[in-house]
Structure 1
Amino acid sequence: MESHSKRIIKCQICFKPMKHYNARIKHMSEEHNIRHKFKCHICNREYNIKHYLATHIRQTHGHKNKKCSECHMAFITNHGLKKHMLKHTGEKPFTCTICLKSYARSYTLKEHMRAHADKRICT
């Protein structure tokens, strides 16, 4: 079996070798103050790393083909659909370990836990 050699990507200014294209972009931005802007063709948002632009396009402007079976709202990701379904099921998977109150969203539980922390500080 033939072995494949890994491609080395070099800085175009100082020729420092890097393993990944995004590392070169970051290096050129930080070390040589050269900014590569990758612009979204839909909303004009800019990214310094091409992969971040691709992720943005997929997650923000992608096809909403994940449909809710209850109300037919559509989502780009399974994660978005799963979070939405909590509204229909009433499921509250995030439970406070102090008072056992439950929440549908993790960030709501975190806000609730801060209230417990504030009470402990005040007493």
Structure 2
Amino acid sequence: MADSNLRGHEQEHSSEKPYMCGECGYRTARKSHLSQHMRIHTGEKPYKCDLCDYSTAQKSNLDCHLAKHTGDKPYMCGECGYRTAFKSHLSQHMRRHTGEKPYMCGECGYRTARKTDLLKHMRTHTGEKPFKCDKCDFSAAQKSTLDSHRVKHTGEKPYMCGECGYRTAHKSALSNI
């Protein structure tokens, strides 16, 4: 087992990515990462909160969510007072103060402070659109784009102008008033 973990870790540092998603072409060095990725397509959310209806595809997301119930935030930024339940979130937050952007796109040079932002950015190069509408054949590279699309089916207008009461399906429409 230890040898396979070492091999998988070494592959992450190389360009070798033998595991590929048959749905969108996503490639990874680890089989476990492919299994986790497939949940995007299947919608499987096996990690469930015992305290509310929240469920997620990743255990780490559930761990973060549980901190909302306890309110415990032991890690604090010495510069601005930001508090968090996770040391990794504080490390990520500190990049706002330092300007560090350690994650870089090999295609175009885009840099970011967050690995998740780089992964989302890479979809601009791969054309991957893993977020699918359950009402039509629309698909999107970002979940927020799919969420905006879904209001076409529901007719919901969740954004309201505080001055005149105008309601809209898209937040950006409020800034155009």
Question: TM-score normalised to the size of structure 2?
Answer: 0.38
Shift of 1:114: 1.7
Give the SS at the match of 1:98: coil
Q: Which amino acid aligns with 1:118?
A: G
Give the equivalent residue in structure 2 for 1:3: none
Match of 2:92 among 33, 55, 58: 58
Give the equivalent residue in structure 2 for 1:47: 82
Q: Counterparts of 2:94 and 2:154 in 1: how far apart (Å)?
A: 36
Q: Which runs of 4+ in 1 moved over 4 A?
A: 51-54
Query: Are 1:94 and 2:94 counterparts?
Result: no
Match of 1:104 among 109, 129, 141: 141
User: Greater Rg, structure 1 or structure 2?
Assistant: 1
Give the SS at the match of 1:92: coil
Shift of 1:53: 8.0
Shift of 1:100: 0.8
Contact 2:105–2:118 at 8 Å: present in 1 too? Answer: yes
User: Counterparts of 1:1-123 in structure 2 under 5 Å?
Assistant: 38-41=76-79, 44=80, 46-47=81-82, 51=85, 55-59=89-93, 61=95, 63-118=100-155
Shift of 1:85: 0.7
Q: Counterparts of 2:132 and 2:109 in 1: how far apart (Å)?
A: 29
Q: Counterparts of 2:117 and 2:146 in 1: how far apart (Å)?
A: 19
Shift of 1:87: 1.3
* Percentage of pairs with the same residue: 30
Shift of 1:54: 6.6
Q: Counterparts of 1:48 and 1:58 in 2: how far apart (Å)?
A: 12
Q: Deviations over 1:14-66 (max 9, x none)?
A: xxxxxxxx9xxx69xxxxxxxxxx4542xx3x2355x4687244245164222
Q: CA RMSD in A?
A: 3.3
For structure 2, the 5+ residue unaligned runs are 1-66, 157-177
Q: Deviations over 1:56-97 (max 9, x none)?
A: 442451642221011112223321110011112222111111
Q: Which amino acid aligns with 2:134?
A: T
Q: Which amino acid aligns with 1:67?
A: M
Q: Counterparts of 1:110 and 1:47 in 2: how far apart (Å)?
A: 29
Contact 1:65–1:75 at 8 Å: present in 2 too? Answer: yes
Contact 1:94–1:105 at 8 Å: present in 2 too? Answer: yes
Q: Counterparts of 1:48 and 1:109 in 2: how far apart (Å)?
A: 31
Q: Counterparts of 2:146 and 2:139 in 1: how far apart (Å)?
A: 8
